[in-house]
Structure 1
């Protein structure tokens, strides 16, 4: 479980939050609200001074938030506003930690921009039953074949012509098309699956 919320000695101001350039870097993670409940999350954009999270449970402006993000580790700060997808928060850090944070973000942003191989932190499994139903934004349903699944996404084949960026549900799991390849698509889940669910008997 994430460590308990603590009130740090300093906090980032709204002015500081705007000093930093926001980068479109997608990272999976988990966060904890003051009620000590944990939830999965995904970054929409991030800077050394703040982050916009897609999150199932929204923090209220002024609430403290602790999050753990892939590649970056623990961050904490204060919710500054809610959004349609989740909420935006400041990131409280020392100057030294912020410099390290900036270097990590720059590397991650360049990796995505250059199309370098993804860091597959999660193992992929082939489901015993590959058949699944895709539901598009207009609620139309289409049969697809799941190629493999990880905690963060799935690869599937379909006769549909789906552009990158298409939102959909794979079974009941919300996802987004992030890549096309010969014979199918790669989709990233809006929120990562629980590790104890990932086995060959999983039906999305």
Structure 2
């Protein structure tokens, strides 16, 4: 392998299958409070970009973890329509190691969700959508970690109770399992995976509102 200097600059765009997690601030991480799932979109020597359910404020400190790259820390530098970008703070030695990991990276199905219950579990093209709880009707952002025609794994700004009814995009279901970065929902009906993906997407008016909120994108 060609030896890299810590100053070498590498960037990989268009990543689609690397799932991970991120925590906000220095407090102990708790799902639905300051610990969430994310989907890696870009990785570089000095920065990364993710799709995420909760978009931190500029300057907020984030710790992101991915199986392929380990734990990465730094401040938020850009807020996106469906996530954010952050700078990476690391020593020269850690930068060299990070560059080597990027150089060796071949995209496969990297995911933090280890209990994939069947081969039909898929990653949505647009993972960020909205979720409504049964006791209220106002939507909150969430991230679909994976899905099938029967249900979905979700990361959101709350941890519900087992049995709680929620609506993800346009699909209703009940919470059947909690895990460290989210929860699993079983749909009230069975769908084809194509129909499920379309119905899980956020409504057009919500997406338009996001674009108005981020006019620079």
Q: With structure 2 as the length reference, what TM-score do the two structures score?
A: 0.49
Q: Determine whether 1:203 maps to 2:186.
A: yes
Would the aligned equivalents of 2:48 and 2:86 in 1 still touch at CA under 8 Å?
A: yes
Tell me the distance in 2 between the aligned counterparts of 1:191 and 1:63.
20
**C-alpha distance in structure 2 between counterparts of 1:102 and 1:69, whole Å:** 15
Give the C-alpha shift of residue 190 in structure 1: 8.2
Does 2:64 match 1:67?
Answer: yes
Note the aligned Cα RMSD (angstroms): 4.0
Question: Quick check: 1:176–1:190 contact (8 Å CA) kept in 2?
Answer: yes
> Which runs of 5 or more structure 2 residues have no equivalent in the other structure?
1-6, 28-33, 132-142, 157-176, 188-217
Which whole-Å CA distance do the structure 1 matches of 2:14 and 2:57 have between them?
Answer: 23
Q: Does 1:86 align with 2:76?
A: no
Per chain length, whose mean CA-contact separation is higher, i.e. which structure has more relative contact order (CA < 8 Å, sep 6+)? 2
Q: Residues 123-202 of structure 1: matches in 2 within 5 Å?
A: 123-126=115-118, 148-149=120-121, 153=122, 167=126, 174=144, 195=179
Counterpart position of 2:24: 33
State the shift of 1:189 in Å. 7.3
Q: What CA deviation, in whole Å up to 9, does each residue of 1:166-199 have, x standing for no partner? A: 5489xx874799xxxxxxx9xx97869954756x
Q: If the length of structure 1 is used for normalisation, what is the TM-score? A: 0.51
> What residue ranges of structure 1 are gaps of 5+ in the alignment?
1-15, 127-146, 155-164, 178-184
Give 3-state SS (helix, strand or coil) of 1:106's partner.
Answer: helix
The alignment partner of 2:117 has SS state of coil
Shift in alpha-carbon separation, 1:53–1:194, aligned structure 2, 3 A:
farther
Cα distance in 1 between the residues matched to 2:111 and 2:60: 33
Q: 2:67 touches 2:111 (CA, 8 Å); kept in 1?
A: no
- Tell me: CA distance 1:81–1:166, structure 2 relative to 1, closer, same or farther (3 Å): closer
8 A contact 1:42–1:190 mirrored in 2? no
CA distance in 2, matches of 1:102, 1:90: 15
Distance (whole Å) between structure 2 residues aligned to residue 23 and residue 168 of structure 1: 17
Quick one: distance in 2 between partners of 1:166 and 1:71? 20
Contact 1:166 1:176 in 2 (8 A): no
* Distance change (3 Å), C-alpha of 1:85 and 1:55: same
Aligned length: 137
